[in-house]
Structure 1
Amino acid sequence: MKSITADKQQKRARRFSLKWKWALGAAFGIFIVFAIFSILIFNRFTAIMLGQEQTNLRDTMTLVVERLNNQSDTLTHATVLPYLRPDLATPADEVPKSDQNAKKNIYTDSIIVKLAREDVTVSVYNPNGKSIFASRNIPTKFKKTANIDIERTKIHGVNGFIGRRPIRSRTTGKIIGYAQVTTQLGTLRKDQNQLLKAFFGIGLLAFLISGLVGYLLASYFMRPIKSMTDTIDIIKNDPQSAERIPQVKRNDELADLANLFNDMLDRMQRYIEQQEEFVEDVSHELRTPVAIIEGHLQMLNRWGKDDPEVLAESISASVQEITRMKSLVQEMLDLTRAEQVEVHYPHAKTDVKDVTQQVFNNFKLIHPDFTFTLDDDLDQPTIVKIYRDHFEQIMIILMDNAVKYSEKRQEVHLSIARTGNQVEIAVQDFGEGIAEADLARVFNRFYRVDKARSRDKGGNGLGLSIAQRLVDSYHGKISAESVLGSGTILRMSFPILNTLPKGESPIATTDDSK
């Protein structure tokens, strides 16, 4: 046994804990969501930056063209250099005085300053396609175009943009050259790399934090399940243990599960105790009739076979004891079923007024020598949550008990009335009564006030115990009042489920759950 337990504990230690599964699942889930979000942001950022690069390229071409289209003759290196690289121009190549302000504006404009970026190259070609100026030595293929043309291509194996535009003279309107601007998207790549590093770092941090938070939350939420597992292990080793899951101070599904689990353990404990009580009670009660039958059979075996009087007496006594044993076993089974009605009949409903009148009429019929009185204060059907056969069984037990102990004054009073939201039923006899010391034990199993007289009357001391179990199972109350020598009153009450107006049929009186 110890080796089996050790093996189970070792397997439990080796397994991948649900807390880790929860933690890693939450971490991966958050990481995937973050990754998808990052990809969307990265793509959107790239699209915006590409759009900005195209805009910058277009603006650069426009500014170059505006600075060079004021000439009327074909562009040459000497006429272009003062506008685009004044630091390299000779005094003979200086810009005319009329254009000094324009030259000054070019280099104070923030966009023109961007020409100095490493990834931007400005080239100017004459109308024949010959290169006359290049800010950097980047071999690119030139082609003539009549309008603005921007295309994405690879430059030195790197993605970039090439923009081309003809330069038309303001005065003559003819093409005096071509402007070509190339950008290798270096700034975009740097920004992309920084953004990827930021996303990776934040994603890793989010994975670790979400994993840690998931583990802590899993540990917190799994605490009742851990307590449940420990309780199951204790109950498995000791079925009689009173160990239960500690009260979960949370209002969630796990708290409900813990409460249901404790209720299930209580019910199992109760069933085990009922089984033990059943075995003990049956063995105790059957011991006497079995001994009596055994004695008669031994007597018959020794000398009673040839004595008709002894034979008849032994057979009669044995049959009587067998009948009592049969009755006892049936009542014990009834008592066991009474303790389990909450499982089998959870939705049954019964009209108290109807069943009470039926039982009253039946007892008047089978006991014509008794005087039965019914005080019925219910003016309409009164519905309670109880299986009809069980309510009828309770009434029969109470009425039969009253008849059984009414010897001198053969009179029984039955009354039913409504008090608030309860219906009350009382059965009164005028027999010998019960002493106050015995009154608290009349609902115990096999208890008899006068054992000899009760056995003569055919009772086994289980009727009131069955009635009490049935009443308790349907959330009712039952009690006894008695004065020694004057009689006994047995009272019971049930919560009313519904009342119906006169003339309307009562709801179904059988179990609805099946």
Structure 2
Amino acid sequence: MGKRPMKKGNRFVSLRVKWAFGTAIGSMIIFLVLALTLVSAFTTDLLRQERHSLQTSMTTVARHIDDSFQNESQFTSRQVGQSLYEKPDSHDKDGSYYHHSMVQSLANSNLTIKVYDRQGRPVFATGKTQAGLKRQSGRSIQQTRGKFHKIYVGYQRLRSKQTGQTLGYLQVENHLTSYYQHVQRIHLVCGLLMILVIIVTGLMGYFLSYILLRPLNDIHDTVVAVRNDPVKNIRVPEMHRHDELSELGQMVNEMLDQMQRYIEQQGQFVSDVSHELRTPITIIQGHVEMLDRWGKKDPKLLDSSIKAVLQETSRMNSLVQEMLDLSRAEEVEVQFKGSECVVNDVVTHVYNDYKMVHPDFMFMLDNDLKNKIKVPVYHDHLEQILIILCDNAVKYSTKRKEIHITLSRNLNSVEIGVQDFGEGIGPEDAKRVFDRFYRVDKARSRKKGGNGLGLAIAKRLVEGYHGTISLESSLGYGSLFRVTLPIVDEPKKKGKQN
């Protein structure tokens, strides 16, 4: 994709990069949540096992000492050491001590066992302890701060099983070295996996966005080409994707088609206005120059020139008024939104007016509507549409002066028809009859006083109210204009108000 014009201080960041970054961040968050949950459960289980190991060792050592000594005088360093490392006799309770072997308990590098006498003097130790003695009446296991990290420390009072006399105190420390080694390995593995997940999902997100957003390149190139040359006939290539981007490309093409139509219509409008105004201005200028030379003293010439000037001025005034009407018709969707009128009343009113104004014509009204029907059109605009169509019918009815007006209803719309039996319009002219300033026969239209804007105004008004206007015509047989307008849904409207 080409470079985009950016505001000063802003930096362009590709949507693909944002998509890849967002995918990677999302995957990282999901992975972190899952990893933290699993690691927490795993480490909690490991910690429980270490605590159980400490508790088992305390039970084994305390039980052995309680069974081996009767009083304090026997509780010396040498005897305690021999007792703990001595192999049990073969006749001792079916080898139950082998199940909790002293050697296995004391050989655990994570455990440090220390035995104190009643005065708190150490009499036996398998290693250097990190915590001091705490005299306990029973047993307690605590987690405390060690030299490098937290450790488990268990305390228990030793009491002779035979005499019940207090012999001393037992302290067992679990340094949790194995536990923290496992935790470090888990953290390392999770960290490496998270990096791998971020890289893989980021790359997948980037390439997936590259594939999915490829049509944006075509849309961008098309828009840039039209920006550089608004009249260039270029469109977004057709996409066979059936998704939002395909709809966007289609909408861009429709917008460009509409824009080019507006550009062409604007150019044609300026050209036609210049042409239409040039003729009356030239005529007025010619008459004024003629009067300035020799017409001041000639009453007949003066009178003729004044009439010609007034006639052309009137035509220019009519042209300007119609141009203003056309300009206002472009804004009906905004200025007259929510307007309504009863179509029966408006059509009947126009019909009665034309019967009175044109007594030499035979007007017929065929009204198939049984009830009052409302259409979402401003009253004056609907009347203006009918006047334009009726004027056009009167203007081009030469021999058979008969005009039929019909009013009927479809499922969700009302149809108004205005039919004359005059000159008719050929197929080629019928396609352009709604264009601005277009006349079927310019010479005859000028004599009849037309500027070629009436039908263009009618079409814009009808379409502004979401209706349609069409023409059926044949040379020598007359024309039929059909106007279709949507019906205001009264029940729905009342339901909304309630």
Query: TM-score range with shorter-chain normalisation?
Result: 0.7 to 0.9
Which residue is equivalent to 1:425? 416
Per-residue deviation, residues 74-133 of structure 1 (Å, max 9, x unmatched): 3344544455323xxxxxxx64554274xx433344897343221111222333333333
Of 464, 467, 481 in structure 2, the residue corresponding to residue 491 of structure 1 is 481
Which residue is equivalent to 2:362? 371
| Secondary structure class of the residue paired with 1:70 | helix
The equivalences for 1:196-215 within 5 A come to 196-215=187-206
Partner Cα distance (2:423, 2:154) in 1: 121
Partner Cα distance (1:236, 1:267) in 2: 15
Q: Give TM-score, length-normalised by structure 1.
A: 0.82
Partner Cα distance (2:452, 2:131) in 1: 113
- Rate the CA distance shift 1:251–1:107 in 2: closer, same or farther, 3 A: farther
The structural deviation recorded for 1:422 is 4.6
Which residue is equivalent to 1:287? 278
Amino acid paired to 2:18: K
| Secondary structure class of the residue paired with 1:363 | helix
- Rate the CA distance shift 1:421–1:493 in 2: closer, same or farther, 3 A: farther
Partner Cα distance (1:346, 1:371) in 2: 36
CA RMSD of aligned residues (A): 3.6
- For the pair 1:479 / 2:477, whether they are aligned, the reply is no
- Rate the CA distance shift 1:274–1:444 in 2: closer, same or farther, 3 A: closer
- Rate the CA distance shift 1:371–1:6 in 2: closer, same or farther, 3 A: closer
Structure 1: 5+ residue runs without aligned partners? Answer: 87-93, 508-514
Q: Is the 8 A contact 2:88 2:97 kept in 1?
A: no
Which residue is equivalent to 1:265? 256
Q: Is the 8 A contact 1:339 1:470 kept in 2?
A: yes
Per-residue deviation, residues 434-462 of structure 1 (Å, max 9, x unmatched): 56776565445444455444322212233
Q: Is the 8 A contact 1:382 1:496 kept in 2?
A: no
Amino acid paired to 2:445: S
Q: Give TM-score, length-normalised by structure 2.
A: 0.84
- Rate the CA distance shift 1:437–1:105 in 2: closer, same or farther, 3 A: closer
Partner Cα distance (1:308, 1:413) in 2: 48
- Rate the CA distance shift 1:495–1:291 in 2: closer, same or farther, 3 A: closer
The structural deviation recorded for 1:349 is 4.5
Of 146, 151, 174 in structure 1, the residue corresponding to residue 165 of structure 2 is 174
Structure 2: 5+ residue runs without aligned partners? Answer: none
The structural deviation recorded for 1:205 is 0.9
Partner Cα distance (1:300, 1:483) in 2: 44
| Secondary structure class of the residue paired with 2:274 | helix
Partner Cα distance (2:9, 2:200) in 1: 27
Partner Cα distance (2:111, 2:3) in 1: 74
Of the structure 1 ranges 341-350 and 274-283, higher mean CA displacement relative to structure 2 is found in 341-350
Of the structure 1 ranges 249-258 and 365-374, higher mean CA displacement relative to structure 2 is found in 249-258
Which residue is equivalent to 2:349? 358
Which residue is equivalent to 1:99? 92
Q: Is the 8 A contact 1:381 1:506 kept in 2?
A: no
Identity of aligned residues (%): 42
Amino acid paired to 1:85: Y
- For the pair 1:59 / 2:56, whether they are aligned, the reply is yes
Partner Cα distance (1:447, 1:157) in 2: 96
| Secondary structure class of the residue paired with 1:261 | helix
| Secondary structure class of the residue paired with 1:124 | strand
Of the structure 1 ranges 304-313 and 74-83, higher mean CA displacement relative to structure 2 is found in 74-83
- Rate the CA distance shift 1:375–1:15 in 2: closer, same or farther, 3 A: closer
Q: Is the 8 A contact 1:380 1:500 kept in 2?
A: no
Of 383, 390, 395 in structure 2, the residue corresponding to residue 392 of structure 1 is 383
Q: Is the 8 A contact 1:414 1:427 kept in 2?
A: yes
Q: Is the 8 A contact 1:424 1:491 kept in 2?
A: no
Q: Is the 8 A contact 2:467 2:483 kept in 1?
A: no
The equivalences for 1:31-430 within 5 A come to 31-32=28-29, 34-35=31-32, 38-39=35-36, 41-43=38-40, 45-71=42-68, 72-74=70-72, 75-86=75-86, 95-96=88-89, 98-99=91-92, 101=94, 104-109=95-100, 113-138=104-129, 141-250=132-241, 253-338=244-329, 341=332, 348-419=339-410, 421-430=412-421
Partner Cα distance (1:364, 1:164) in 2: 118
Amino acid paired to 1:199: C
Of the structure 1 ranges 51-60 and 163-172, higher mean CA displacement relative to structure 2 is found in 51-60
Query: Would you say how many aligned residue pairs link Structure 1 and Structure 2?
Result: 489
Partner Cα distance (1:7, 1:143) in 2: 74
